[in-house]
Structures are given as structure tokens and as C-alpha cells.
């Protein structure tokens, strides 16, 4: 959230004369969209990275002085989304029992011929793949990376997991990011489950 944007009335972008946008009193982009506080502006169909400079009045401007343009990102070479998340597992059948039979994710063979399985979770594909990185045998898996699943009712889903024999690390509790609890898969990967805050759910039910 970039906050409230207002036109900078004194000047426009040197190339297209679109009004610069400001957050507070600092100009930082042109056009109707800005992706990064001082880095990106929209010009036509391309996102252009530019370096800010100061005009004679000391105002910080994103302009087209020679050498300002760092890179052009068009719709053809910009990131469009996350294609898949791949989890290496030491025992595929054991992992399927956890993710498919325990968590209820609908995994099916990928057809790649490598023993991997995939499930569509929202707009993201989740892959379970037999180990191909030997270094995993000597380290703790999942360090520094967490997968967050979303469910409408974290408490109901937690009870469902327990009924299927899935160990739960902690009881569902309201956190700033949502109703939250955690489980750990057979290889030690921690999976966080998020849901609607219980206080919000209670208010909506009144």
C-alpha cells in the first residue's frame, strides 16, 4: 500500500508530460500506477526503472535525464505469477499420506515420469518431488521457508486434521496476520495454516 497519491502540479514527466505523483511531498512516479516508492513509473505499456534526480528547486524528480533509464520491463518479460512450489521429499508415499490424506490436498501424478505429484492450491501448483539434492540428507529441511495455507475456518480445519491423525504443533490463535496454527510434514517442513480472525468471525455472526 503506497498511501494516498496526489498530482504534483508544478511539473510533468519530461517525455510524456504526464503529471508526477507524490506521496506526502515527494514526487515518485508518473501516470496512474507506481510499483515501487522511488523506482518505477508507467509509460505506455512498459514499466521503466529510473533514477531519481533533483531539479533546480531541489525537488526530487523521476525523470529522463541521460543515463536515468536502467531497465525496461514489458509484459513479455515481467513476472506474471508463481508457477509452482516444489518440495523435495525423502519418501513420496509417506508425504502423500500427510498432504493428501491428512491435509486433504488433491495430489495426482504429474506425468513427468520422475515420481512427482502435484496439487492445485488456489492459483499455485504444489509439487512433491523425490529427493534430487543430496545435501538435504545432512541439513534440517525447511529452514527459512514456510508455506502458508489459507482456510475459511482455522479452528474447524484444525479439528479435522486431528481427526485424521495429523499432529498439530500449536492451538489456533488470533495473530496480526490471521487465525493461525502449524503442523509439520514427515520431512520436517513446517506448514502454517491461516484463517479468518476469530474476533472478525464472531462480529460477522451477530
* d(C-alpha 71, C-alpha 36), whole Å: 14
Exposure string (b/e) for 87-104, b if CB count within 10 Å is 16 or more? bbbeebeebbebbbebbe
pLDDT band per the 50, 70, 90 thresholds, residue 198: confident
Q: Domain 84-205 class?
A: alpha beta
Rounded alpha-carbon distances, angstroms, from residue 58 to 26, 36, 53, 55? 11, 21, 9, 5
Q: Are 8 and 21 in contact (CB under 8 A)?
A: yes
**Per-residue confidence (pLDDT) for residue 133, from 0 to 100:** 87
Pairwise pLDDT comparison (5 vs 18), residue with the higher score = 18
Q: Where are the beta strands (DSSP E) in 31-187?
A: 40-43, 46-50, 52-54, 60-62, 69-73, 84-89, 108-109, 117-121, 124-130, 147-150, 173-175, 178-184
At 13-56, the pLDDT tens digits run 444 444 444 444 444 444 433 333 333 443 333 344 444 555 55
Is this structure's pTM higher than 0.85?
A: no
**Per-residue confidence (pLDDT) for residue 137, from 0 to 100:** 76
**Per-residue confidence (pLDDT) for residue 52, from 0 to 100:** 52
Average pLDDT over residues 130-140: 82
Judged on CB neighbours under 10 Å (0-12, 13-18, 19+), 116 is buried
Chain mean pLDDT for the chain? 74
Domain(s) of CATH 3.10.180.10: residues in the chain: 84-205
Amino acid at each position: 500500500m503506497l498511501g494516498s497519491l496526489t498530482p504534483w502540479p508544478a511539473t510533468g514527466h519530461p517525455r510524456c508530460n504526464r503529471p508526477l505523483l507524490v506521496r506526502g511531498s515527494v514526487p515518485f512516479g508518473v501516470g496512474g500506477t507506481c510499483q515501487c516508492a522511488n523506482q518505477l513509473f508507467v509509460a505506455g505499456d512498459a514499466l521503466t526503472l529510473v533514477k531519481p534526480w533533483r531539479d533546480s528547486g531541489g525537488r526530487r524528480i523521476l525523470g529522463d535525464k541521460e543515463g536515468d533509464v536502467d531497465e525496461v520491463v514489458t509484459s513479455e518479460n515481467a513476472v506474471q505469477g508463481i508457477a509452482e512450489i516444489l518440495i523435495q521429499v525423502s519418501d513420496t508415499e509417506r508425504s502423500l499420506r500427510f498432504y493428501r490424506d491428512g491435509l486433504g490436498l488433491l495430489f495426482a501424478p504429474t506425468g513427468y515420469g520422475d515420481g512427482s505429484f502435484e496439487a492445485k492450491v488456489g492459483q499455485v501448483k504444489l509439487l512433491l518431488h523425490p529427493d534430487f539434492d543430496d545435501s538435504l540428507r545432512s541439513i534440517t529441511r525447511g529452514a527459512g521457508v514456510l508455506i502458508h495455507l489459507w482456510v475459511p475456518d482455522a479452528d474447524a480445519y484444525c479439528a479435522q486434521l486431528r481427526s485424521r491423525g495429523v499432529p498439530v504443533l500449536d492451538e489456533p490463535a488470533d495473530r496480526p496476520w490471521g487465525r493461525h496454527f502449524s503442523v509439520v510434514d514427515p520431512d520436517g517442513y513446517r506448514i502454517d495454516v491461516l484463517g479468518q480472525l476469530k474476533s472478525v468471525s464472531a462480529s460477522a455472526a451477530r
